[in-house]
Structure 1
Amino acid sequence: MRNLNNRLSSTSSSRKPFSLIIWVTVSKTTSSQELGLKNLQKKIANWLNLKEEETVERTAIQLSKRLRREKFLLILDDVWEAINLDLVGIPRPEHHLGSKIILTSRSLDVCRTMMTDVEVKVEVLTDEEAWELFKDHVGEVADLQSIKPLAGTVCKECGKLPLALITVGSAMRRKMRVSLWEDAINELRMSRPSIPGIEPNLYSSLKLSYVSLQNEKLKSCFLYCCLYPEDYSILISELVECWWAEGLIGEKLTYHDALNRGIALIESLKDSCLLETGDSDNSIKMHDVVRDVAIWIATCAGPESKFLVRVNIGMTEISEVELQSNLERVSFMKNSIEALSDQEIECPKVISVFLQCNSFLHNIPENFLRGFRAVKVMNLGGTQIRSLPISLLHLQDLRALLLRGCNHLEELPPLGSLTKLNILDLHDTSIKHLPEGMDQLTNLRKLDLSYTLNLEFVRAETVSNLTSLEFLDMTGSSYRWLVKQRPPLLYFEIHLQEAHTEQRATLEDLRSLQRLSVLHLSLYDSVKAFEECDVYWIERLKTFRCSMGLTYSPRDIQRLTKYSEKALMQRDLSGDSIEWFICHAASLAFDNCCNLHEILENLVINRVECFTNTKILTLKDAMLNEGSNTQFDLLPNLEELYLDNIGKIKSISVLADRLGLSFPRLETLVVTGCHELENLFYLGVRITSLPKLSKIKVDTCAHLKELFRHVPGSAKEHAVVPKLRAARLSGLPRLQCLCRREESWQSLEELEVVRCPSLKKLPFRTMNGNSIKEIRGDTHWWSEVHWDTDDVKSFLDRHFKEMLDLKASLRR
């Protein structure tokens, strides 16, 4: 379904079978039918940019009016109960010709009740397929004489379900002890979760993967993920910080090492098929069924329930009855809680409390927190609280206080008594100054003050006393970093300085933080401050990000309208220290710089050193005019190059000549929307080959005729792209040639060709055919490709995967 959605969405407007494509994940979120309808209506209304009405009926009228003007495709994913389309406001396809509705569900009864026209059941595997899939994950041990009969029994207990086979197979991978296999069989047969239907079999399989995890802490890390809602992408950094604060990851590790350790644990859980990549590379998800199993383990499978998970169910208040004294973790995340009890509720064992994303919560009563004496992680992010109660200070074991996105929060109580606090997240809050007692938080490891748009004052004493601080993020904060003032020379200067007892924190105070390894800053009119102080202490940091050169603060920029473009253009990149920053950057991005050619010209003329640290270069929305060329490589270690909507350039070699680039280490090349580009590179003078290039993506370049053009008379003994493994080409109507005839592309494994009708020849011969794993494209295009021999065509036909004509398929 995602494939269908993505392909239809990327189809050119002239070929789209639908004027509107809507994807809605329905999920099992509420027990109330009305709340379920409102939730579904809200999601569809968001797609249509419509305002949700006060009642279900009025919203249905608005949705119906809008959808009747469109030829739409509505994809309803993960439907658990039958949906009354009329109540939602969705026109029925039989009355609105040309539109279609597709749904996925784990229940055939849902399909029957909704009167679907066609049902496609995903069958379990055959015995042979199940065994092969199981062996793929178990490894060669499955064929050992002593193990094979037992492995066959374990495979059979998985019920031929792919998820169960993969999960159990991964858990048993390379285990050679007979006793382990016999125990696995017993576990699969003895588990009896009280859930009807197929779920008990699946649960028992998944529980085995959980039982097979290396240690109790890794099991706790896995179960921790079920505190988040279904279909929720969990930020890896946030999850790892919670693990670290709870002590699931070594408390003595540095922040950097703890993050690396957490990522390693996540990869272990991914390898066991218990976690999967989320909506982005820096997030993870739990499969719906896996999450259900985790909740079942944490709340039902043991002698006593230790978790209370009530997330995303539309609850408006917390039941005091459910808050039992034996609980260890509670989550009320993403609800509609309006008020908390002012009674002290005894939960002496609770160590994590999730109340984030309750956007109607305005107040934390004084007595509510008194019963949570052992809490280590308190997440109140995304609420509307304006202050915190004094009872917070009684949480002596608190390690992580997460207030991210509490944009109404203006002040905090004195935090000096929270001496064990490791993480304080105040991102996007409205605080004007740091709370009293901050200088006593000598164990604080991470302080996030990013986008604190009202932050005006930070005491120098506070900063210098945070001796354990390793991570400081002040991206987009309004606080102005200055340098220490010179010693007063005149009497009135001394008098004024004595009168001002509270000293502002300066850049020199940051230098005193010996454990600081990650620093994110925004510098506005104080860019020149770095010209007046020693910046070279920054070299000891592992990560340093600095946005600089804007004349205005974030608050000023918010108020700018017609002058905003001018303000953003007034960037000051002059000065030795600013040059030092650029020289030490691992990644450089020039986005929407109308004077990019001037910046490059300045680099070429004035630079005497190369940017040896820069590995990623991004140029976006700019013009490249003619100018001076340098004779030496300014970017000798460049690994990734991204060009997006760059005008006045017919070949990347123009950029290469200007900056002296030879690309000896380039691994990834992505080019998008460069409509004047005629070839990627012309080869034979400065560049003869791209020895490490492994990935190419070229999209929507209207005039591109060939990827590589060879200068007449140039040497031909070098393979241009000997390491190229994957190439994705789309929207290149004039592309005729990938490379010269002699080039074989011997390492290519994957090729995708979309909307490249003029490409009739591919660089494949018998010598390099064995490396090809998959070629994707339109069947009509594939049928018109010319081959040197029928043997090559016959061989590659086996690796061709059709990219379906979706319009024709849906019409059928």
Structure 2
Amino acid sequence: MEENVNKMMKRFGAIQGTHLSGKKCKKEVEDWLINVRRSIREFESLEQEVQCNRFYLVDSQQMLAERVERMNKEMAELVEQGDFSGGLFLEDNESIGPAFLQNFNDIWASFMDENILSIGIYGIGGVGKTTLARRVRDNLLNESKYSPHVFWATISQEFSIYKLQNYIAQALKIGISIESDEKKRAAELFRGLKNKERFVLILDDVSKQIDTENIGIPLGMDGCKLIITSRSLEVCQQMGCQKIIKVNTLTEKEAWELFSNKLDCVELSPEAEDICKKMAKRCSGLPLALVALAGSMKGVTDIHEWRDASKELNKSCMGQADMEHGAMPILLYSFNRLKDPKLKSCFLYFSLYPEDYDIPRDELIANFISEELIDRRLSRRSEFDQGHAILNELEKACLVEIWTDREIVKMHDLIRELAITITEHNPRYMVKSGLELTEIPKVQNWTEDLEKVSLMDNNIDGISPGISPKCPRLSSLILRKNPLKFIQERFFEHMPGLCVLNLSETSIEQLPHSISDLEKLKALLLGDCVNLVYVPPLGKLRALRQLDLTSTSIEEVPQGMESLTNLELLYMDCCNLEDMPAGILLRLAHLQELTLPCHVVPPTDVEGLKQLELFDGRLNSVSDLNRLIKSQQSEWRLNSYHIIINEPGEVFGYDEYYPPCKVIHFGEDSLTGSSLGVDENLLPQDIEELLFEGSGLNCCLLDYFPMLYNAKDLKKCYIAVEDYIECIMRLSSAEEEEQSRGVPFQSLEDLSLNGLPNFMGLLKWEGGAEVAPIPPGTFSQLKTLYIYDCRKMKKLLQWSLVQNLHNLQKLDVYNCDEMVEIIGDDDDDHYGRDPTVNSSANVTLPKLKDLSLYKLSKLKSICKGNMNCDSIESISIHECTELKKVPLHLQILLDGQPSAPAFLKDIKGILVIYNFLRFLHGYVPDWLIEVGLS
């Protein structure tokens, strides 16, 4: 059996690695991977049971033998089935290449060897070490025994042990002291790591030896694995890597395949193709150079342009024979191929961030706008559109990476080196970001030709008296993310051209008065300066367009703010601010974005801001909301809004909804005693999130806001601490009227109900047997459903409704005292029940991953039939004493026994009967007795 397990694991590792390439697998490959995962879990479960001495009776030993034989046979079949001679993927235009796969398989096989605790991956810059390491990490994240404990750290040229210790401790949630004694901290980290069963640490781009003992990494511990990437073989050897794998450059054939795939153009003439191949050869087999060069030549078909490009490339590469720098001239050529000066300026701006920094896409574009690197346009949205287009162009040129799933942008360390090299000359930048500096650079480093300076993400805590750099051309100074407490008065005295000053996320308490004289300043960024209590007069800063005072501790509006008539962005989420003087906002006629959530804003002020696109603030009443909506009905200008009516409570934290999208939040008593009629309760047509928190919402949500029948963009609805609401929607005998209103909640993805003492259910039927059916599509996009403290609910979902929930992924029900069943008949009196629905039939929830039931003391049934939910990953059931079974539909194996769901990783609260049967019989067959409970 052990031989088959090893064969299966090796084959699984190889195929799973290629599966993570992002290409579409064939159906038989997907099915095979699912079956192998199931077998791996079953094998691990068997090992654990044997270690726990479960099989101590004669009959259970016989069962063990039969089970081992069955598993051995299944694994042998899976090994045989895993030979996909016809290929793994559906056909597409790109291949990750055999060299990559071979390297990956070598690394993965070494990782699976229990005797190898450290692996080194080395090769020259741009050869693909980081890409390989990322693929290994992604693969490990799909392994249940490693997935919660895989950690990545990029080691910059100026890394510090202290910073790396902080990162590891934070990632693994280990307590560690903040004192400077690294040895003491290493001992604390060592103890914390020893308590972990297993973890994997990947250190990327290690340029010099790191003593893991000084950090506190217990490499000799079982389950602890270290993977490093480096440009140096010597570093891998010095760090004692037990397995060292060299990433070689691509062969000429592989390089041409990668280049032509990335070029992605129509068929070339023979002459153009010959030029292409010579240009690809110039890249010396380096994937990074090949991809960047191909990106710069996309769309070129004219032979004259190809010949000219080839000549320019030869000139760029002249005298650059050193392989260690082989990628740099290619990257420089790709940069020079950028035709639009805006693209070049935005590309160079990336260098101001620390190495391997995850840059939020929206933040980056906002900085492009603040720095005036892109064209000025009439609206903020239009400027953002331009910023997105620029980032997309840079991605097409393969000079940046855009990770759409996390909305971040990254830059390869070699490409960032290129940007820094360029900015050492023209334009002139000084970049000292993320280097653990404790003080600003010496005065001699502040040359008169400097245009931008970035000192972000360091440990600078103050700027001492006597330092006043003479930088007349300096336009941008970034001191963000420093423990900076003070700046001496004369520091800005010789920076007359300063346009952007970023002091956000510092510990600054008071700004020097010299800021008041920076008359060219266009952006003053002080967000998250929580200790800041004083801002000097701003009346002379008439060029100012952006002022960010978010989360500062100022108590008064800065003097002279009414004079900032060119202001376009004003962020004043300042809870200590005592008052907003009347009339100031109306004088700021060019405002495009306004955040003022801690103070009531008169609707007349918002109406008067004709260019406003984002509004995050409070209104006094529902009448004010209606007035605002009616005033903009002809042209709803707000692209983003978070409007709070009256005071918000404490159930929903405000930060959860920042930055605002399209949210209306009805706060405490905002609907109580409202004199408006039902038809006057208006909401914006494009609303995306709707919150009610102690607002006085009455009876039925749709009765109160009938326009929700046609809210096609609503994604989230949260209702909490509402004493009078009974249902979300009601169905009556007025069939035609109900259907003509539209499909309610057709786009809703998240629904949370919390603390509703009179809530009876999502639906309420009224009338006779001719009651209208549920409109098709109602709740059809629902992904998460949370029900907390709804103590009158007896039934959660009706049979007719559950047919629509084919996208439901998470169901969480907590503390509902009267809940008897989760899915039941349409109505206790059977009014409106669809006669075609059989309440004893199986329920299909194809995407359900997480089922959690807690403190449901009267719950007797989840549903009368079985639940088909093959995607289930987690089941958690606690304090449901009347519930005896989770009616999962289980697949039947070849021997007739039921098997665990293929993706199920976590079961909590279903083990009482399991332990009882183990004590009684010594064995629990048929996969947990078909998920019985006790």
How do 1:514-663 residues align onto structure 2 when only pairs under 5 Å count? 514-522=610-618, 526-527=620-621, 530=624, 536-539=630-633, 540-542=636-638, 543-550=640-647, 570=668, 572-574=670-672, 575=674, 583-584=683-684, 586-589=686-689, 601-619=699-717, 629-630=730-731, 632=738, 636=743, 640-643=747-750, 655=762, 662=775
The corresponding residue for 2:156 is 28
In the alignment, what sits opposite 2:926? Answer: none
Equivalence for 1:459: 581
Say if 1:282 and 1:68 are closer, same or farther in 2 by CA, change over 3 A.
Answer: closer
Deviation at 1:122, TM superposition (A): 4.0
Partner of 1:56: 182
1:628–1:56 CA distance, 2 compared to 1 (3 A): closer
Q: Does structure 2 retain, via aligned residues, the 8 Å contact 1:242–1:377?
A: no
Q: 2:537 aligns with which of 411, 414, 420?
A: 414
**Hey, what's the Cα distance between the residues in 2 that align with 1:752 and 1:205?**
47
d(CA) in 2 for partners of 1:603, 1:232: 45
The residue number in structure 2 matching 1:698 is 809
Deviation at 1:286, TM superposition (A): 2.0
Match of 2:244 in 1: 119
Q: SS of 1:100's equivalent?
A: strand
Q: Do the aligned partners of residues 755 and 554 (structure 1) sit closer, same or farther apart at CA in structure 2, a change above 3 Å counting?
A: closer
Q: C-alpha distance in 1, partners of 2:794/2:272?
A: 60
Residues 647, 306 of structure 1: CA spacing in aligned structure 2 closer, same or farther, 3 A cutoff? closer
Q: CA deviation at 1:617?
A: 2.8
Partner of 1:89: 216
- Render the CA deviation track for 1:502-551: whole Å, top value 9, x for unaligned: xxxx442332222222111135xx44672896653354332322133436
Residues 629 and 660, structure 1, Cα contact 8 Å, conserved in 2: no
Residue number among 425, 431, 438 corresponding to 2:554 in the alignment: 431
Go from structure 1 to structure 2 and tell me whether the alpha carbon gap of 1:728 and 1:372 turns closer, same or farther (over 3 Å shift): farther
Q: Give the aligned residue type for 1:201.
A: G
SS at structure 2 position matched to 1:23: strand
2:306 to 177, 181, 188: 181
Moved more, 667-676 or 278-287: 667-676
Alignment of 1:153-552 (within 5 A): 153-191=278-316, 198=323, 200-277=325-402, 281-299=406-424, 302=425, 304=426, 306-317=428-439, 318-340=441-463, 342-359=466-483, 361-450=484-573, 452-475=574-597, 477=598, 479-481=599-601, 506-522=602-618, 526-527=620-621, 530=624, 536-539=630-633, 540-542=636-638, 543-550=640-647
Structure 2 partner of 1:498: none
In structure 2, runs of 5+ residues without a counterpart are: 1-132, 656-664, 756-760, 766-771, 814-820, 824-832, 838-843, 853-861, 876-887, 893-899, 905-934
Partner of 1:99: 224
Deviates more, 1:117-126 or 1:185-194: 185-194
Report the CA distance between 1:436 and its aligned residue.
1.5
> 1: distance between equivalents of 2:532 and 2:497?
24
Report how far residue 224 of structure 1 moved. Answer: 0.7
Q: Is the 8 A contact 1:194 1:200 kept in 2?
A: no
Q: Cα distance, 1:471 vs. partner?
A: 0.8
Residue 38 of structure 1 corresponds to which residue in structure 2? Answer: 162
C-alpha displacement of 1:404: 0.9
SS of corresponding position for 1:544: strand
Equivalent position SS for 2:641: strand
The answer on whether the counterparts of 1:736 and 1:760 sit within 8 Å (CA) in structure 2 is no
Q: Is the 8 A contact 1:184 1:208 kept in 2?
A: no
Q: Summarize deviations over 1:149-188 as a string: whole Å, max 9, x none.
A: 1111122222333333222222211212223323433444
Q: What displacement does 1:357 show?
A: 0.8
Q: Would you say the 8 A contact 1:329–1:350 is kept in 2?
A: yes
Q: Pick one of 137, 145, 155 that aligns with 1:16.
A: 145
Q: 2:351–2:420: 8 Å Cα contact kept in structure 1?
A: yes
Change (3 A) 1:439 1:645: closer
CA drift at 1:673: 7.8
Tell me how far 1:592 sits from its aligned partner: 9.9
Give the C-alpha shift of residue 105 in structure 1.
3.7
Report what 1:484 is aligned to: none
SS at match of 2:332: helix
Q: Distance in 2 between matches of 1:404 and 1:185?
A: 48
Deviation string 1:335-359 (CA, Å, 9 cap, x unpaired) is: 1113325333221111111111111
> Structure 2 length as normaliser, TM-score?
0.63
Give the Cα–Cα distance (whole angstroms) in 2 for the partners of residues 355 and 236 of structure 1: 20
Structure 2: distance between partners of 1:135 and 1:665: 48
Which structure 1 segments of 5+ residues have no match?
482-505, 559-566, 649-653, 715-720, 722-726, 740-750, 762-777, 783-812
Q: 1:98 to 1:259 in 2, by over 3 A?
A: closer
Instruction: Give % identity.
Output: 25
Distance 2:315 2:835 in 1: 74
Q: Distance in 1 between matches of 2:649 and 2:472?
A: 49
2:192 is aligned, of 59, 66, 70, to: 66
Q: Indicate conservation of the 8 Å contact 1:142/1:151, yes or no.
A: no
1:772 is aligned to: none
Counterpart amino acid of 2:809? V
Q: Secondary structure of 2:177's match?
A: coil
Aligned residue-pair number: 681
For residues 471-502 of structure 1, the C-alpha deviation after alignment (integer angstroms, 9 at most, x for no partner) is 10123x3x344xxxxxxxxxxxxxxxxxxxxx
1:429: how far off? 0.7
Cα offsets for 1:14-41 (capped at 9, x unmatched): x6369x725141421526xxxx111111
Contact persistence 1:530–1:577 (CA under 8 A): no
> Could you report, residue by residue, the CA deviation over 1:365-422 in whole angstroms, capped at 9, with x for unpaired residues?
2221122211211101111222222222332221111111111111212111111111
Determine if contact 2:779/2:804 at 8 Å carries over to the other structure. no
* Secondary structure class of the residue paired with 1:444: coil
Counterpart AA for 2:522: R
CA distance in 2 between counterparts of 1:674 and 1:276 reads 40
Contact preservation (8 Å) 1:586, 1:616: yes
User: Residues 729 and 753 of structure 1 are in contact (CA less than 8 Å); yes or no, is this contact kept in structure 2?
Assistant: yes
CA contact (8 A) 2:263 2:297 kept: yes
> TM-score normalized by structure 1?
0.72
Closer, same or farther: CA 185–554 of 1 in aligned 2, 3 Å: same
Note closer, same or farther for the CA distance 1:152–1:736 as it changes in structure 2 (3 Å cut): farther
The one-letter code of the counterpart of 2:587 is: N
Within 2, Cα distance between the matches of 1:586 and 1:474? Answer: 22
Range that drifts further, 205-214 or 528-537: 528-537
Deviation at 1:728, TM superposition (A): 6.0
User: Which protein, 1 or 2, shows the higher relative CO under an 8 Å CA cutoff with sep ≥ 6?
Assistant: 2
Per the alignment, residue 766 of structure 1 pairs with none
> Could you say if the C-alpha distance between residues 517 and 186 of structure 1 is closer, same or farther in structure 2, counting changes exceeding 3 Å?
same
Shift of residue 123, structure 1, vs aligned partner: 4.1
What is the Cα deviation at residue 65 of structure 1?
Answer: 1.9
Q: 1:79–1:105: 8 Å Cα contact kept in structure 2?
A: yes
